[in-house]
């Protein structure tokens, strides 16, 4: 039975953008940008330097307004770099400049990169998660999910979110806290035990046995939730107390009655002080790991897909060893479908061991 005041979370909705900027991507995965002197150069990092817009005569560098003449043919773009004509792939880019997202992330402790992943990547993630058009399939448990489809590696190595996380935490040196798995949240039957409110590692104890970090100390981790399905309040989109990264404590006991003496199936707080971030499939929500959050209640008949990742500073112990999954990926044909930039990023994030190890 529903109690008054339940399921009253505030909705923060992100509509599918009408326009996306583009990346111009070299075969090795590096991205064309403008250096500080206005010269064309290739970069591995996705900051404002590598964001372009199409124009009738070629492409325009968004942050400086510099027009560059280019031959655009279907998804290819040929530009002159020095004395060479270089052909680059025109790739789906963000709705906003990376600096705009960074400003929001620093100010609010979270940001939504709406519809940043391509429909092809979304389709691959849905296939692995067995959601949406693939709901009739059973998840494959024979191999790590990163080996099951290149979409998983493409999502792991998405360059704008990596640039944002590195800038927010203030280090390049990051690792993932567990192997990234597209998974699904089943429909809620109104009775079963559900996930309670929590902050994330290292602000809570974990099986890794690391010391719980001081919420007032330097930032140690950022979560990246990829919306594999459309995320709506009805289908159980993640619920947050936005801004709670600034709170001195983890969620209060009254938000988690099931953990404090009530029946274990008692639902966690779902009143109007909580926020649901709604966004189309392919969106990425980044949030400070201190933020109070929980999975939503999936009130539909369909599974909701997500891929949750924890990016941790070098001194945080991961919850699970990510290296075996990466070694399996290296041996898998899927690894060859990734470009060298993607291969390097994934390998670094999964093979780096924390300082303490
Ligand atoms: O499934 C979700 O929506 C969120 C779950 C989550 O963030 C977590 O388990 O830490």
pLDDT in tens, 190-246: 999 999 999 999 999 887 677 899 999 999 999 999 999 999 999 999 999 999 999
Mean pLDDT over 74-102 rounds to: 94
Q: How far apart are CA 140 and CA 19, in angstroms?
A: 36
Looking at ligand 1, which residue's alpha carbon is closest to its atom 1?
Answer: 295
306 lines ligand 1 (CB under 6 A): yes
Residue 355 has pLDDT above 60, yes or no: yes
277 lines ligand 1 (CB under 6 A): no
CA quadruple 213, 215, 220, 226: dihedral, nearest 10: 120
308 lines ligand 1 (CB under 6 A): yes
Residue 1 has pLDDT above 80, yes or no: no
Contact 178, 320 (CB under 8 A): yes
The DSSP result for 38-98, as a single string, is S-EEEESS-SGGG-EEEETTEEEETTTTEEEE-EEETTEEEEEETTEEEEEEEEE--SS-H
**Ligand 1 atom nearest residue 310's Cα:** 10
pLDDT (0 to 100) of residue 210:
77
pLDDT (0 to 100) of residue 3:
82
3-class state of residue 287 by DSSP: strand
Q: How far apart are CA 234 and CA 241, in angstroms?
A: 18
Q: What are the chain's domains?
A: 10-16+97-351 (2.60.120.620), 22-92 (no CATH)
Task: Compute the distance from residue 158 Cα to the ligand 1 centre, in Å.
Answer: 20
pLDDT digits (tens, 9 = 90+) for 36-85: 899 999 999 999 999 999 998 899 999 999 999 899 888 999 998 888 89
Q: Collect all residues with Cβ–Cβ distance below 8 Å to 171 and sequence separation of at least 6.
A: 313, 314
Exposure of 297 in the CB half-sphere (CA atoms within 13 A): 19
pLDDT digits (tens, 9 = 90+) for 134-156: 999 999 999 999 999 999 999 99
- Whether pTM > 0.95 for this model: the answer is yes
What does the buried/exposed string (b/e) look like for 170-181 if buried means 16 or more CB atoms within 10 Å of the residue's CB? eeeebbbbbbbb
232 vs 357, more confident: 232
């Amino acid at each position: 039975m529903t109690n008054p005041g339940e399921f009253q979370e505030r909705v923060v909705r992100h509509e599918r953008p009408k326009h996306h900027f583009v990346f111009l991507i070299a075969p090795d995965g590096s991205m064309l940008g403008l250096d500080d002197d206005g010269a064309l150069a290739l970069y591995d990092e996705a900051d404002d330097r590598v964001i372009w817009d199409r124009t009738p005569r070629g492409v325009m560098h968004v942050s400086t307004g510099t027009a560059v003449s280019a031959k655009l043919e279907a998804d290819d773009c040929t530009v002159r770099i020095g004395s060479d004509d270089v052909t680059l792939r025109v790739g789906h880019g963000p709705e906003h400049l990376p600096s705009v997202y960074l400003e929001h992330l620093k100010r609010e402790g979270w940001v939504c990169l709406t519809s940043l992943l391509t429909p092809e990547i979304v389709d691959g993630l849905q296939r692995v998660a067995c959601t949406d058009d693939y709901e009739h399939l059973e998840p494959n448990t024979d191999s790590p999910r990163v080996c099951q489809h290149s979409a998983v590696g493409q999502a792991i190595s998405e360059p704008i979110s990596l640039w944002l996380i590195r800038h927010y935490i203030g280090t390049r040196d990051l690792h993932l806290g567990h192997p990234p798995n597209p998974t699904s949240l089943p429909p809620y039957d109104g009775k079963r035990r559900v996930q309670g409110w929590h902050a994330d590692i290292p602000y809570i104890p974990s099986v890794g046995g690391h010391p719980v970090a001081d919420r007032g100390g330097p930032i140690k981790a950022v979560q990246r939730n990829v919306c594999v399905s459309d995320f709506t309040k009805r289908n159980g989109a993640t619920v947050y107390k936005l801004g709670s990264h600034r709170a001195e404590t983890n969620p209060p006991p009254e938000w988690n009655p099931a953990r404090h003496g009530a029946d274990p199936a008692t639902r966690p707080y779902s009143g109007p002080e909580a926020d649901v971030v709604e966004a189309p499939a392919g969106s990425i929500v980044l949030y400070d790991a201190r933020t109070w959050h929980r999975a939503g209640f999936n009130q539909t008949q369909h599974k909701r897909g997500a891929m949750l990742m924890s990016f941790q500073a070098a001194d945080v112990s991961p919850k699970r060893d990510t290296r075996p999954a990466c070694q399996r990926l290296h041996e898998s044909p899927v690894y060859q479908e990734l470009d060298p930039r993607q291969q390097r990023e994934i390998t670094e994030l999964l093979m780096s061991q924390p300082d303490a190890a």
